[in-house]
Structure 1
């Protein structure tokens, strides 16, 4: 019979290998698609990089430790724990910036290009990196609340004391759950507004929304919902349900869900973004370049900009990514 440790190691390697492949596909495809050269695409590519780094960290560090009886002292593993938390915090903030991007694209349409210029987008990315590094190093290294690898149960954990419980509750759980809730809320508002604008255009111009357009709106809402839901579920499971589980396999899966979630994001993006999924399929058949060239003018998720002039109502379709 296969040992519990070996089962957990295969689960970790399997999930992270899947995440590595899908997120590499997202990153490569996003770099080649002209429609992903916008601020939305910049954030998406950096999200994929964070996900790739998390997958590599678990494949290089956590997986081998689960395969072997080697037990590292927490002084050695805590640095890996801090790096993993920095990656996670950057990814969480990038998710929020992506939802803010979509929100501004439909609610602040005349200021969108200035707010989310490519330069400002790179500044936001750098801001997320600086904040994440400063926060994690200060709270977890400077204050001594190390995130170390628990070799008995094969997951990253904090020291069990009152100081760390209080610190991680506010700096980890409350902060990140606030980001997740805000991300979901902004995404749903953006999806609602986008659908409303599409209906206004259809009713006014007499052009009915096609089935493909409706499907893209559903995919957008689905992506927003599942990305936010996966993050919130992972946080809640790690904080609340982990202490209640005694089975080592379920405990390892539950406690590592916050990292596994980043691996699953590649699949969520591919399944939700039909343009990217079609590009991946075309690439498998050796015609990705032709697909990009012929589909450069295709409109997928577009924001309908309403420009009101004296006596006239002009509708301008603008591609905001």
Structure 2
């Protein structure tokens, strides 16, 4: 629910009317689809032991892998967005204008879908439900083992490392700038900078959560022979990561917190404000046109 809330409501909130908000909405959509599959397909199939549903697991497994890659690519672009906003503020509007942001969103969806179809469909490498440990696993063919470890795992690990490096560079820049501000005897410079730093904290925390999930799913889970432990460190950990992303977003953003506490009133107020702005813009345009006509 949290991811669907962020996905469908972020573009209605004033603080999210920017590249960061659009990238965040795209990421939350991928996470919402992933969590919905576990809620609407996985949970009933396992709890009620529905065998016909379990036989469809490779199709849902493919969607899960694609959605995960959408999330991790979105995280990368969000990290780059934060670095650009903090380290290169003068170039930010050029690098992350509306067209460029839309292009990045398209890339974050098209690349995972294309890679998923090539690796998992063309090469017949299925990500299926294993009833012995209640988790999704790659089929144990030689080709699939190579794809899952040497391509899938190292791809995700490489992206996570890049995200970590970008975040560290951004954090160092924030620290150096704060030192300069204190030396100059200036107070918190402006509201926009505080908002950018808040977005950075949010992005860094989300990145840390992703690193933990990658470690538990690919390594820690297989150090235990107890299937409850394996299930907790794979399926449960995977869901906690993607559910916690929305909680982090809501926790760091006052507008989302207000939306959660009073959804109908907040949406009505935002909708009314947007309607007034559009009417005002239309009225201004009409006035300009009338003046232009009368002039001629």
Asked if these proteins are the same fold (TM beyond 0.5), I'd say yes
Q: Distance in 2 between matches of 1:44 and 1:123?
A: 14
- Paired residues of 1:88 and 1:259 also in contact (CA < 8 A): no
Which stretch shifts more, 273-282 or 260-269?
273-282
Paired residues of 2:132 and 2:227 also in contact (CA < 8 A): no
Rg larger in structure: 2
SS at match of 1:286: helix
Alpha carbons 1:33, 1:292 under 8 Å: kept: no
What's the counterpart of residue 247 of structure 2? 267
Residue 148 of structure 1 aligns to a residue whose secondary structure is: strand
Normalised to the residue count of structure 1, the TM-score between the two structures is 0.74
Say whether residues 1:252 and 2:231 are aligned partners.
yes
Q: CA deviation at 1:123?
A: 0.7
1:164 matches 2:144: yes
Higher helix share: 2
The match for 2:207 among 222, 228, 236 is 228
Asked if the contact 1:188/1:221 (under 8 Å) is kept, the reply is no
**Deviations 1:201-230 (Å, cap 9, x if unpaired)?**
4543x33239x9999788556433331122
Report Cα offsets for 1:106-134 as digits up to 9, x if no partner. Answer: 22333221211111111111112111011
* Residue 125 of structure 1 pairs with residue 101 of structure 2: no
Q: 1:241 aligns with which of 200, 220, 226?
A: 220
How far apart in 2 are the matches of 1:220 and 1:35? 10
Q: Greater relative contact order: 1 or 2 (C-alpha under 8 angstroms, separation 6 or more)?
A: 1
Equivalent of residue 40 in structure 2, options 60, 85, 104: 60
- Say if 1:47 and 1:91, in contact at 8 Å, map to a contact too: yes
Deviation, 1:85, is 0.6
CA displacement at 1:69 relative to structure 2: 2.0
Cα 1:289–1:185 change in 2 (3 A) is farther
Determine the structure 1 residue equivalent to 2:291: none
Q: CA deviation at 1:26?
A: 2.4
Contact 1:279-1:291 at 8 Å conserved across structures: no
Instruction: Check the 8 A contact 2:13/2:270 in 1, yes or no.
Output: no
Q: CA shift at 1:292, angstroms? A: 10
Task: For structure 1, list consecutive stretches of 5 or more residues without a partner in the other structure.
Answer: 1-20, 295-321
Taking only aligned residues, the RMSD between alpha carbons, in angstroms, comes to 2.9
Q: What's the secondary structure of 1:114's corresponding residue? A: helix
The change in CA–CA distance for 1:121 and 1:208 in structure 2 (over 3 A counts) is same
State which drifts further: 143-152 or 78-87.
143-152
Q: Displacement, 1:288?
A: 6.2
CA contact (8 A) 1:47 1:94 kept: yes
How has the CA–CA distance of structure 1 residues 199 and 292 changed in structure 2, closer, same or farther, with 3 Å as cutoff?
Answer: farther
Residues 223-266 of structure 1 deviation map (CA, whole Å, 9 limit, x = unaligned):
33331122112112211122222222222121222343112110
